[in-house]
Structure 1
Amino acid sequence: MPAPAVAAPSHIGIANLPNQRHKIVSRKGARFTIMVLGESGLGKTTFINTLFTTILKDYKKPEHRFAKQINNTVEIEITRAEIEEKGFNVQLTVIDTPGFGDYVNNRDCWAPIVNFIDDQHHGYMKHESRPERKNSDDLRVHACLYFIQPTGHTLKPLDIEVMKQLSTRVNLIPVIAKADTLTPSDMQAFKDRIRDCISHHGIQIFQATPHDDDDAATKAIMAASPFSVIGSETEVTYADGSVGPGRQYLWGAAEVENESHCDFKKLRNLLIRTHMHDLISSTEETHFENFRSTKLTAEGRSDDDPSARARKVMDTKMKEEEDALRKRFTEQVRLEEARFRQWEQRLIAERDRLNQDLEQQHRAVKQLEDEYEEVLALRKK
């Protein structure tokens, strides 16, 4: 039976442990990896630059995009930056996927992305099993922003399939791009259709856990999902005379940080201000652990499943037997091929001999015919 908890005197300093932890975290900083995924032209680069108020990524040149259309491939681009705010450093990594969804045939276009995410988990798992574990290049994705075209209808089949593939591997956050192209009523109806589609297909998206003092704020943030965003690297004058990022139109300005125009502030709060630590910890405690458990179980190393080890041994034996049978079959085929080649050579040699005999017979017949002609000629004389 465990011993009952004893209240310690307040003056020994246990209550100062959070402050110690805060100092350690502030000194070490944090690593945060964010992936932006979606078709070209949805403003992913602009959104990232707007989110961190700096130019982290440059736009693609048109000829570079044309080259990718020819290659018909999805690439992985990694951009690294270090951002400091009030003495706290964040090693930021942005992963972009140019070429995704840009082709007529997009079959399995998500495979390079899924493989990349799995490879990062596998690489970290291998690194953790080494005796020396310093200098790890940890690129596990903490948040994947999936950009959706503002069509006003619902998710496309490609969106559904990709989101299903990613939702079990990463913290998936759906984002509606270019929110200024839809009216508020159309945007709300579009969000409702997307939510219904996500629920119908069992797609798991990131759900922020409320903290003790921000339950209402967290619920308000998650109620806006999927988040509608506007990205802009230029500043415009708002209706109240203030200046901020936005897009200027003849009718006025679409304000990036105006919550009646889009959900940019809510998404920024979720990613950076309130739940960045939750995104990092859920990647470590949920997605990485699921990958690790699945991988070890597949290798027969599960502690609580002895049958898995037995299956592993059986699979190994079957593979050895299969390899032996394949080797015997290959050797038998090689011997039969050698016998066939010998038989073929004998046939060719016999054919050549018969041809020579035939030519000799032809020459003999020709000689007899010539002699017969000579005899007839002599008789006529």
Structure 2
Amino acid sequence: MPTKTTCPSSQVSDDEQKQKRENTRSLTMSGHVGFESLPDQLVNRSIQQGFCFNILCVGETGIGKSTLIDTLFNTNFADHESSHFFPHVRLKAQTYELHESNVRLKLTIVNTVGFGDQINKEESYQPVVDYIDAQFEAYLQEELKIKRSLFNYHDSRIHVCLYFISPTGHSLKTLDLLTMKSLDSKVNIIPVIAKADIISKAELQKFKIKLMSELVSSGVQIYQFPTDDETIAKINASMNGHLPFAVVGSMDEVKIGNKMVKARQYPWGVVQVENENHSDFVKLREMLICTNMEDLREQTHTRHYELYRRCKLEEMGFTDVGPENKPLSLQETYEAKRHEFYGERQRKEEEMKQMFVQRVKEKEAILKEAERELQAKFEHLKRVHQEERMKLEEKRRLLEEEIIAFSKKKATSEIYQNQSYMASGSNLKKDKDRKKISNAQVLEGGSKRASESMRAGSLVYRAQLEGESRRARESLRAGSLSYRAHPLPQH
């Protein structure tokens, strides 16, 4: 269950008010002055300026919010149907300017789109609360400006919340209780039972009693029509007993007798919207528009907005009384707050300095530890390097000794080789001479055999040529004899 914010009272004490009333004298004038026309002046100025009225409609999608608003103001606002598939609740505000006789009304209708359509409805009311607070904050910021223009400022604060309750079920839903509980300190709530024609009169009366019982037991404070004005006290007190209103809305007209009336046509009959035996629509319109619209505007400013403004200013440090319940001026409050902020700033600066020094010390300790570790690592690497260097020097010395020993062995070996070469030099020369003689003999024999072979081949080739020449002569001779024996015929 959401908790409501409570702020301590900052009103002047009853004794001071009583003292002021005692110091005021009542006198009777001896002649006409003219300030009796002040109400007429106020009326003329208000008519010239126009009026504004903002309505917040809270209820599930498809419950009949737009239809009821159209019926209340007898106007088709041509609002588009809303989808059921929004992941979050969003608020849609539309402003219209209506004219009736010579009175202008700037009407703003704020509709909750997607309210109650989510699977998780735990935070469905939060966007509504945030929207109302945002309008209060915008008005407060305009009011706190150095150069204000409240005369031309479009007041967007919500004046009344029509909370639509579904007629199905036997009691209020948890979401309805949570939402109204979180809104009753911020806006004037008028609960209405939507589509009341779907349940019987007896069930409707029981449902009303059940709803009011739950609202009272849950601590939800709905708007009560004022009874302090004698001219409307009786009718307002009577209408307070009819809450919540069970309404039916429709812009369709059906002919009943000799006249056309707004009604809903069913197979079993007709439900007339403006028939008080069928619904409380006429009571709602009379109380909301005709009788108490100005009171709703005044309650929004003097009660709900003042509560928000007082709490906001106290959060900023502004109060009307001091520590000893003495009244404080704005200048004194400002000076006290300035000194408080100055002390807070000094305290935070000192804390920051101490924190900076502590962090510097911690950083220096970390750096010293890192330096120590690096120095130890350097000494270790230095020792390892020296050990490796000594090992390399030892290896180098051993290698040099091996090289010297090897050089000595090599010189001794070369001496032995030269002596053996000189001893075997003469033997090698004799072998070479013998090899030269043998090679010359082999070459001479080979040349003789080659010349003989060439001579034999030449004789054979010559014999073959002579044989072929002989055969060719014989063939020519035979051909000549055959031609002579058989001459060719002459033509």
TM-score bin, normalised by smaller chain: 0.7 to 0.9
Pairwise CA distance, 1:307: 7.9
In structure 2, C-alpha distance between the alignment counterparts of 1:287 and 1:316, rounded to whole Å: 33
Q: Report the secondary structure of 1:39's partner residue.
A: coil
Q: Report the secondary structure of 2:181's partner residue.
A: helix
In structure 1, C-alpha distance between the alignment counterparts of 2:189 and 2:156, rounded to whole Å: 16
Quick one: which of 125, 128, 132 aligns to 1:110?
A: 125
In structure 1, C-alpha distance between the alignment counterparts of 2:272 and 2:147, rounded to whole Å: 50
Pairwise CA distance, 1:137: 3.0
1:217 maps to 2:235: yes
Quick one: which of 25, 33, 37 aligns to 1:4?
A: 25
Quick one: which of 63, 68, 72 aligns to 1:42?
A: 63
What's the counterpart of residue 182 of structure 1? 199
What's the counterpart of residue 65 of structure 1? 84
Counterparts of 1:225-244 in structure 2 under 5 Å? Answer: 225-238=243-256, 240-244=257-261
Cα deviation code 1:253-291 (max 9, x no counterpart): 111111111111111112210110000011111111111
Cα deviation code 1:161-190 (max 9, x no counterpart): 110100000111111111111111111111
Cα deviation code 1:27-69 (max 9, x no counterpart): 21111111001111110011111111112242325xx433x1x
Question: Aligned pair in 2 of structure 1 residues 311, 133: CA closer, same or farther (>3 Å)?
Answer: closer
Cα deviation code 1:202-233 (max 9, x no counterpart): 11111111332222221222221111111112
In structure 2, C-alpha distance between the alignment counterparts of 1:252 and 1:295, rounded to whole Å: 55
Q: Give the conservation status (yes or no) of the 8 Å contact 1:56–1:79.
A: no
What's the counterpart of residue 275 of structure 1? 292
Question: Aligned pair in 2 of structure 1 residues 190, 32: CA closer, same or farther (>3 Å)?
Answer: same
What's the counterpart of residue 255 of structure 1? 272
What's the counterpart of residue 139 of structure 1? 156
Kindly provide the amino acid, as one letter, of the partner of residue 84 in structure 2: R
1:127 maps to 2:142: yes
Pairwise CA distance, 1:305: 4.3
Kindly provide the amino acid, as one letter, of the partner of residue 248 in structure 2: I
Q: Give the conservation status (yes or no) of the 8 Å contact 1:142–1:280.
A: yes
In structure 1, C-alpha distance between the alignment counterparts of 2:124 and 2:234, rounded to whole Å: 39
Larger Rg: 2
Q: Give the conservation status (yes or no) of the 8 Å contact 1:74–1:100.
A: yes
Counterparts of 1:1-381 in structure 2 under 5 Å? Answer: 2=23, 4-9=25-30, 11-60=32-81, 64-66=83-85, 68=86, 72-134=87-149, 135-210=152-227, 211-238=229-256, 240-306=257-323, 328=355, 332=359
In structure 2, C-alpha distance between the alignment counterparts of 1:23 and 1:53, rounded to whole Å: 26
Kindly provide the amino acid, as one letter, of the partner of residue 237 in structure 2: K
Pairwise CA distance, 1:318: 6.2
TM-score (norm 2): 0.63
Q: Report the secondary structure of 1:237's partner residue.
A: strand
Q: Report the secondary structure of 1:213's partner residue.
A: helix
Kindly provide the amino acid, as one letter, of the partner of residue 197 in structure 1: E
RMSD between aligned alpha carbons?
3.3
Q: Report the secondary structure of 2:113's partner residue.
A: coil
In structure 1, C-alpha distance between the alignment counterparts of 2:175 and 2:345, rounded to whole Å: 37
Q: Report the secondary structure of 1:97's partner residue.
A: strand
Pairwise CA distance, 1:13: 3.0
Q: Report the secondary structure of 1:271's partner residue.
A: helix
Kindly provide the amino acid, as one letter, of the partner of residue 73 in structure 1: H
Of 25-34 and 277-286, deviating more is 25-34
Higher relative contact order (CA 8 A, sep 6+): 1
Q: Report the secondary structure of 1:95's partner residue.
A: strand
What's the counterpart of residue 367 of structure 1? none
**Length, aligned pairs only:** 344
TM-score (norm 1): 0.80
What runs of 5+ residues in structure 1 fail to find an aligned partner? Answer: 358-381
Question: Aligned pair in 2 of structure 1 residues 249, 322: CA closer, same or farther (>3 Å)?
Answer: farther
In structure 1, C-alpha distance between the alignment counterparts of 2:61 and 2:225, rounded to whole Å: 28
Q: Report the secondary structure of 2:231's partner residue.
A: coil
Cα deviation code 1:51-88 (max 9, x no counterpart): 11112242325xx433x1xxx11111011000110110
Pairwise CA distance, 1:322: 6.7
Of 314-323 and 111-120, deviating more is 314-323
Q: Give the conservation status (yes or no) of the 8 Å contact 2:160–2:187.
A: yes
Cα deviation code 1:285-338 (max 9, x no counterpart): 111111111111122101124489789976986688679868948x959x87xx
In structure 1, C-alpha distance between the alignment counterparts of 2:342 and 2:156, rounded to whole Å: 33
Q: Report the secondary structure of 2:319's partner residue.
A: coil
Question: Aligned pair in 2 of structure 1 residues 312, 229: CA closer, same or farther (>3 Å)?
Answer: farther
Percent of matched pairs sharing the same residue:
36
Q: Report the secondary structure of 1:76's partner residue.
A: strand
What runs of 5+ residues in structure 2 fail to find an aligned partner? Answer: 1-21, 326-332, 385-491
Question: Aligned pair in 2 of structure 1 residues 332, 91: CA closer, same or farther (>3 Å)?
Answer: same
Pairwise CA distance, 1:8: 2.8
Pairwise CA distance, 1:4: 3.2
Pairwise CA distance, 1:122: 1.3
Q: Give the conservation status (yes or no) of the 8 Å contact 2:88–2:118.
A: no
In structure 2, C-alpha distance between the alignment counterparts of 1:266 and 1:274, rounded to whole Å: 10
Question: Aligned pair in 2 of structure 1 residues 317, 85: CA closer, same or farther (>3 Å)?
Answer: same
In structure 1, C-alpha distance between the alignment counterparts of 2:206 and 2:349, rounded to whole Å: 58
In structure 1, C-alpha distance between the alignment counterparts of 2:78 and 2:346, rounded to whole Å: 51
